[in-house]
Chains A and B, each alone.
Chain A
């Protein structure tokens, strides 16, 4: 089975690097985007299995990007990964599959990615079985 490809959208270089490294060591392939526009551009040409999306970014924010992903790539799992808990109050954030507040321990994120991809796979498999 090919490695799942995770797109990390994060403007802070160090944090993006940190989470990508953690995902890589957990056995995933990663793609990196520094901004919403870079993410859109990547999505248009690359195959992506899951998106880890930061919200607070200069220019287009993660919350603005989220509906467009939903529209253009329906069913693509998105994890909101942000330093702020307060965006939970924004209904747009509900479009995402998961909402995770950033932590120095990437374990949370990796567990979430695994869960989500598993669920996705099961859904697809049971879909096949039907």
Chain B
């Protein structure tokens, strides 16, 4: 074959001057007009020549170096070329030793040089990596054994075979470790939850990670336990595995449900509390209305009427009655009655003052609260219609110590009245008495003010009354002190906006409520009331009501403010605990978790510490080290942060979810301040004492506590701080220290209790997260070692390959050398010279072809896909190869479809495949035969078949023919078909072979059609 390889020639052209110069430097005589082939011949001839010299070693090595240089120019793959060439050189040198006499001495000479070579190196490397692998394994198993969570390593095959499991997994599932190994993971899925498992698998494949909360797991005994399952995709030895971590959360779920029910219960209590509040607000309205309307009342009856009407209307009572006491007759005279018995009792109704609860009140002068009238010894049912009454509240109306009547409130419900109602009723009774007196004195205005002030002053909440213009006309002490934080003189007579603190008004708006301007105006103009629940103000929470008061001449507005902090705190604490538990469950990332732990301790009113610092034990050096700190370093920073947070109105959940990132957490001023603290583990300091006692320790004045490190003392100052130990499964993990340096609140028992509760739960989670981090690291290490191992195995394989290549290259070298020597001896015989030169040229070409195959195989080029007309290509190739086929006695039959077929392919590569198959076919028919080439289209594909009538391939060999370096021919690289297969594969096609011995062989190529 006289064809040359265009890319190589081309490349040689490019670099020709450059490397010719280098060749000359190496003592090889070349001129730029020589072809690559000639250069190769020269080098080989020179190599052979050098072998006959006494200093054969150096001489040969020089030539070998040149050969290597040539190979470098031929662009041997960089990574493999070193390995291959070191090996190639070894074998060539060994070959040379044999050529030089095949003596033991020659062998030994070469062996000594090369036996310290790559193979031994590779073997050594392999041993070292195996040892490391072993260590990683030990560590990995230790972690496996220790973990309190269940670990399962599942191979992602059809049934999800379990390949590893730890004792915790055995305990969780009830299967023994032996049973678990090799078991299908699907056996652990409850039938009704298969869908969930499938989802998890899908997510795992897609994202490499999955997490399922509260998924069921079927134990061996059939019991279903609830687990949190998280899995990571790992590729071990090229096989996908899922590392699953399951945590039994049955108990946790039970706890959570209990917690939820507690919260639900609390919420119900809150609703009831709100209802009671509403009730009280209504009572307030009554009082104000009575006071207001009393002004208008011109006679005593009117006062009675107004009072009854107002009570009935605002308190939604079943029946309200007011009696005047006729002292002379010792009788009670009905003055007004509103409600259920309005029609029953005539306006002239009188009853003896000796009987019933009314009589008792008159006799004792004390109010009577009967929440179950049927069982009250003094109960008297005046008419059958009264049978509906269940509770009754009777209050004597007294004026200057003298009983002038009774107020009678009735309810059809049991337990309808409480102490507060009683107070209210007394206030009303007093007001009625005063109103009556007022009337008698005709001094309306003075009395009104007096009354209002008196009622309002005695209320347990902050109350203020505004006139139509929004000016404060009344405000009680609580309102001035707790809300306005100003003396009363500075409040009364001022516009409400000037006295109600701006912070409070802003907080209302920040909490997405309408501003007070709107609600006060609505109360004045449209008599609408409004309720602002739980408005944060400083460190308290207010329930604020805006209540319209209807007066005869003008409308007024009452502002009623009540401290709701206690309720808010309690509910928040419960929510906090729940949120913390969930947040801790939802992450295994250590830093995120640490941050969640500290945030939970500091954010919101839950635990409500100003700052928290976490120290973790460094196992290697047995000291406590700062792991993380949350909070502010200075008071200014703290106030600025609080103001910002109040405006952002984030929930605890938001805080827990938002991890600002490792860098941001490290860069806070507080963290910078405490970051490299190191505390020895001995009982001379408070933190390790706290660990060894496993008890929280409260420090009243950290500044003067000698058992704290200097820097911590300076940081904590003189406000109370608390240390809480983190201990899980008898193992010390660390300490949290928390304080209230800025708010300066004392640390309550409640806060201490909560922090402790929370620390124990945090400890378990922390320990697990640590274990998982360690495990992940161990697995990564193991994976790396595996990769190293694979790499050294690959090197060893390259070594074998190189040996094989060296042998293959040797055969043409021997032939070339032999004929070259003959040539030297027979220079006078022109025919012999002609023939030998031709043989040498042919053999060099063969050598070159083998090298090219090798290169192509070692550095495959991605196909350059273009639209390729197959008909045209086959016709062209047939034309080129027809003469040589005819010479070999082969008849070529071409069967092409009428319309040209197109494929998307790299023309040079596909041509190579076809030529290779044609050449194989011709070689398979040494005595001639028929070679048929057919092209046809099938669905989306185009097929090319090359069929010969040659010797065929025996069935044993068929499976191997596409393997590299497999050959049955005496000459050949064994790479031809391997390259064909590689090319066709790269094109997304297929190559198939059918053969029968003595009948022939058919190769069929399938390529995707180009549209």
> How far, in whole Å, are A72 and B95 apart by their CA atoms in the complex?
34
CB contact under 8 A between A104 and B969, given known A83-B811, A85-B94? no
Cβ distance B502 to chain A, nearest Cβ, rounded Å: 97
**Considering the complex, which residues of chain B in the window 949-1004 have a beta carbon less than 8 Å from any beta carbon of chain A?**
968-971
B822 close to chain A: CB less than 8 A: yes
B814 close to chain A: CB less than 8 A: yes
Q: Closest A-chain residue to B826, C-beta based?
A: A25
A11 close to chain B: CB less than 8 A: yes
Q: Closest B-chain residue to A99, C-beta based?
A: B102
A60 close to chain B: CB less than 8 A: no
Contact with B along A84-107 (1 / 0, CB 8 A): 110000000000000011111110
* A18 touching B971, Cβ below 8 Å: no
Cβ distance B379 to chain A, nearest Cβ, rounded Å: 121
Main secondary structure of the interface of A (DSSP, over half): loop
* B839 touching A14, Cβ below 8 Å: yes
Interface centre among A83, A84, A103 (most CB of B within 10 A): A103
* A104 touching B811, Cβ below 8 Å: no
* A11 touching B970, Cβ below 8 Å: yes
CB contact under 8 A between A105 and B807, given known A21-B822, A58-B968? no
* B98 touching A85, Cβ below 8 Å: yes
Cβ distance B982 to chain A, nearest Cβ, rounded Å: 25
> How far, in whole Å, are A12 and B807 apart by their CA atoms in the complex?
15
B883 close to chain A: CB less than 8 A: no
Main secondary structure of the interface of B (DSSP, over half): helix
A15 close to chain B: CB less than 8 A: yes
* A83 touching B102, Cβ below 8 Å: no
* A103 touching B98, Cβ below 8 Å: yes
A56 close to chain B: CB less than 8 A: yes
Contact with A along B796-811 (1 / 0, CB 8 A): 0000000000010011
> How far, in whole Å, are A19 and B822 apart by their CA atoms in the complex?
11
A29 close to chain B: CB less than 8 A: no
* A100 touching B843, Cβ below 8 Å: no
> How far, in whole Å, are A85 and B48 apart by their CA atoms in the complex?
19
Contact with A along B866-899 (1 / 0, CB 8 A): 0000000000000000000000000000000000
> How far, in whole Å, are A14 and B814 apart by their CA atoms in the complex?
10
Cβ distance B345 to chain A, nearest Cβ, rounded Å: 128
* A104 touching B814, Cβ below 8 Å: yes
* B817 touching A12, Cβ below 8 Å: no
* A12 touching B102, Cβ below 8 Å: no
CB contact under 8 A between A100 and B102, given known A12-B971, A83-B814, A105-B817? yes
Contact with B along A1-32 (1 / 0, CB 8 A): 00000000001101100110110000000000
A116 close to chain B: CB less than 8 A: no
Q: Closest B-chain residue to A15, C-beta based?
A: B815
* B807 touching A104, Cβ below 8 Å: no
> How far, in whole Å, are A11 and B811 apart by their CA atoms in the complex?
12
Q: Which residues of B contact A58 (CB under 8 A)?
A: 968-970
A57 close to chain B: CB less than 8 A: yes
* B98 touching A18, Cβ below 8 Å: no
* B970 touching A12, Cβ below 8 Å: yes
* A18 touching B811, Cβ below 8 Å: no
A108 close to chain B: CB less than 8 A: yes
> How far, in whole Å, are A18 and B835 apart by their CA atoms in the complex?
12
Q: Which of A21, A56, A108 meets B102, CB within 8 Å?
A: A108
* B821 touching A12, Cβ below 8 Å: no
* A22 touching B970, Cβ below 8 Å: no
Q: Which residues of A contact B814 (CB under 8 A)?
A: 15, 83, 102-104
Cβ distance A83 to chain B, nearest Cβ, rounded Å: 5
* B816 touching A104, Cβ below 8 Å: yes
> How far, in whole Å, are A57 and B99 apart by their CA atoms in the complex?
22
CB contact under 8 A between A101 and B102, given known A14-B843, A84-B807? yes
Q: Which bracket fits the contact residues of B?
A: 20 to 34
* A56 touching B94, Cβ below 8 Å: no
Contact with A along B814-829 (1 / 0, CB 8 A): 1111111110000000
**Considering the complex, which residues of chain B in the window 244-289 have a beta carbon less than 8 Å from any beta carbon of chain A?**
none
* B821 touching A104, Cβ below 8 Å: yes
B779 close to chain A: CB less than 8 A: no
Q: Which residues of A contact B819 (CB under 8 A)?
A: 14, 18
> How far, in whole Å, are A22 and B821 apart by their CA atoms in the complex?
11
CB contact under 8 A between A15 and B818, given known A58-B968, A83-B807, A85-B94? yes
Q: Closest B-chain residue to A13, C-beta based?
A: B970
Q: Which residues of B contact A11 (CB under 8 A)?
A: 970
Q: Which residues of B contact A101 (CB under 8 A)?
A: 95, 98-99, 102
Q: Which residues of A contact B99 (CB under 8 A)?
A: 101, 103-105
**Considering the complex, which residues of chain A in the window 27-72 have a beta carbon less than 8 Å from any beta carbon of chain B?**
56-58
> How far, in whole Å, are A48 and B970 apart by their CA atoms in the complex?
25
| A residues lining the B interface (CB < 8 Å) | 11-12, 14-15, 18-19, 21-22, 56-58, 83-85, 100-106, 108
Q: Please name the 5 residue pairs, one residue from A and one from B, whose CB atoms are nearest each other, closest first.
A: A104-B817, A11-B970, A18-B818, A101-B98, A104-B818
Q: List 30 A-B contacts (CB under 8 A).
A: A12-B811, A12-B971, A14-B839, A14-B842, A15-B811, A15-B814, A18-B818, A18-B822, A22-B818, A22-B822, A57-B970, A58-B970, A83-B810, A83-B811, A85-B98, A101-B95, A102-B810, A102-B814, A103-B98, A103-B99, A103-B817, A104-B48, A104-B99, A104-B814, A104-B816, A104-B817, A104-B818, A105-B99, A105-B818, A105-B821
Given A18-B822, A101-B102, 19 further pairs, Cβ under 8 A = A12-B815, A12-B971, A14-B839, A15-B811, A15-B815, A19-B818, A22-B818, A58-B968, A83-B814, A85-B98, A101-B99, A103-B817, A104-B48, A104-B813, A104-B816, A104-B818, A104-B821, A105-B818, A108-B102
